[in-house]
Structure 1
């Protein structure tokens, strides 16, 4: 019986190992692909430099990998910074005028040349690369600016440590004056907690305002009060932009050199200013035209200024078409005979010739005369 079933079972036995091996290979391939994807997702952005030291006026090539594809980045040389503590003082410690922007490729890499410039603060220095838009990401690489002074970093505080516990928001509304170019103003409201072991007294925050791809401008905002260890507090800080500001802005809150909050703010255009300029462009030409016409009227000759006028009609007896004027009444006194006003003269017979006064050639003859 086994001999009879052998031709049927043999092909199945031959295919079974191959099928198991193929499934195992596919499973291993899927596992490897998943591991690569997880590694790529967990990888942090990396920055490498073509040289670790250069003098002012030179240049270095900056390379990066592990960034988001097609992301816009900003490269800066910053002082008073280390890769561990980051850029102390924010972009105010960087040579912003000599920075360069670069866009990553489809694989998240880039290559760009950066001119060497001296930062406004002493070294230690780094080449700081950070994203401009989207999810925040940054990376630092140690760099030495030859000939630039150096100074020790400030001591890191070991007391209280503030962290944001709730989503920050901008509160407030714009008035009618903002529509005419007044500075837009809001209040940044957030809840912070002290995660350190010591209380925080009168903390000094920094508010940064950035427009478009430009670096934020930081201003100090002190807050009066004490946040005990393990406690939380509601913070309200004023935020104000320049007069006539409009467009998309990014509001940032920083404490102890660390950015705590980033909040977008869309500011409408001050259309009242536009309306004012449109009216000004219409009123000024009209006023100039009126003044010019008045000057011309004063300067031109008097004869051309006063043209001949048609005789005015009497307002009491206006002329009417199709109506005859009444005849004057007849005089009570008799006019002299033979005058034009004599009724007899006007009713005289027509000048027919009488028989006696007829011409001789045409005088009729009577019977019996020869």
Structure 2
């Protein structure tokens, strides 16, 4: 009876421990479930083929990126970052509700020689990655570089981005900052001139890693403050994430919010206003130059001659069509005072004188003969006599 009771108590304790998750195999199972894994349908394939990549243990409904990378191993990761991967042939996949996936991946040669791996990493959210060994048939193979001091540095202080944007950044110049952090040497050997990898990512895109070497030596047990320059492309704006990697491990991440270059927007707005206005002005000037003149309207005002002053008798009608002919204005000659008439007597009486070449006796006879002392002039309606021609 006692044995049965003890066995029953043992079984109940094991069931309770299993339900609570404190049993050793339950902890191992949960740890295995939390760690993502990747398996391949083939361990080797040539360019142009494809393989099936399966994964388990990932977060549910998570976007992943699959790449074939060179100079990599599951223990050391992708040494050269995504620059060592065939990015153009990569594929994206989303895990299901249980954190598993299955996706076909085309085989392509990475830019760096093998050993190669199929690298799977999360795009958004908490960082997680897994690698599986893969051999690209016909691709060159080169031994991995020796790790000198890799994994000896650890982050001992928070990171920050120092610096500010200037006026040129407001007009589209590349934004730049200094990525400042403090690391310590937890190994037994000094680390000299360590090479860090700084990557910048925007949105759902994977980070673009860049190798930057820090000049200096960090002895065992010592700390050092490191500053590395970070620069984005011209006109960049939005939310960026700056990541720091050393020895294949991500040490720190820092968000970076970049403002929009409003100066460029203002420039394009002014350009869209000024250029059409200038083209309109030029077009109107050209149209005014080339358009035909109205013949009925006569010459333009600028080409019309100045009108002479009008006076009485300066216009005459020819009686045909009612047209008016303008006659030139004739100024009368100034009148000179008449000389004293010798034929006028001092008492006011008029004396008759005759011209020396004409005498009353030689004038014509008849009823139309003028009286003596009067001058003869042709009548207005008399015909004009002409001499011999």
How far apart in 2 are the matches of 1:122 and 1:176?
44
1:166 paired with 2:157, answer: yes
CA contact (8 A) 2:149 2:190 kept: no
| 2:205 aligned residue | 214
How far apart in 1 are the matches of 2:117 and 2:191?
30
The normalised TM-score by structure 1 is 0.71
1:73 paired with 2:64, answer: yes
Q: Secondary structure of the equivalent of 2:288?
A: helix
Q: Secondary structure of the equivalent of 1:177?
A: helix
Aligned residue among 242, 248, 253 for 2:239: 248
The normalised TM-score by structure 2 is 0.68
| 1:125 aligned residue | 116
| 1:180 aligned residue | 171
Deviation for aligned residue 1:297: 2.0
Structure 1 segment 140-151 matched on structure 2, within 5 A: 140-151=131-142
Which moves more between the two structures, 244-253 or 297-306?
A: 297-306
CA contact (8 A) 1:159 1:196 kept: no
Cα offsets for 1:265-317 (capped at 9, x unmatched): 121221221121111111111111111111222223455684799xxxxxxxx
Deviation for aligned residue 1:158: 5.0
Deviation for aligned residue 1:37: 8.3
Q: Secondary structure of the equivalent of 1:280?
A: helix
Which moves more between the two structures, 246-255 or 213-222?
A: 213-222
How far apart in 2 are the matches of 1:239 and 1:177?
17
How far apart in 2 are the matches of 1:47 and 1:264?
29
| 1:99 aligned residue | 90
| 2:187 aligned residue | 196
CA RMSD of aligned residues (A): 2.6
Q: Secondary structure of the equivalent of 2:39?
A: strand
| 1:32 aligned residue | 18
Aligned residue among 25, 41, 49 for 1:50: 41
Aligned residue among 102, 108, 113 for 2:104: 113
User: Which structure 1 residue ranges, 5 or more long, are not aligned?
Assistant: 1-20, 310-370
How far apart in 2 are the matches of 1:275 and 1:144?
53
Q: Secondary structure of the equivalent of 1:117?
A: coil
Cα offsets for 1:344-369 (capped at 9, x unmatched): xxxxxxxxxxxxxxxxxxxxxxxxxx
Q: Comparing both structures, which one devotes a greater share of its residues to helix?
A: 1
| 1:322 aligned residue | none
| 2:324 aligned residue | none
Deviation for aligned residue 1:211: 2.1
Which moves more between the two structures, 104-113 or 191-200?
A: 191-200
User: Which structure 2 residue ranges, 5 or more long, are not aligned?
Assistant: 1-7, 305-389
How far apart in 1 are the matches of 2:160 and 2:29?
35
CA contact (8 A) 1:172 1:186 kept: yes
Deviation for aligned residue 1:221: 2.5
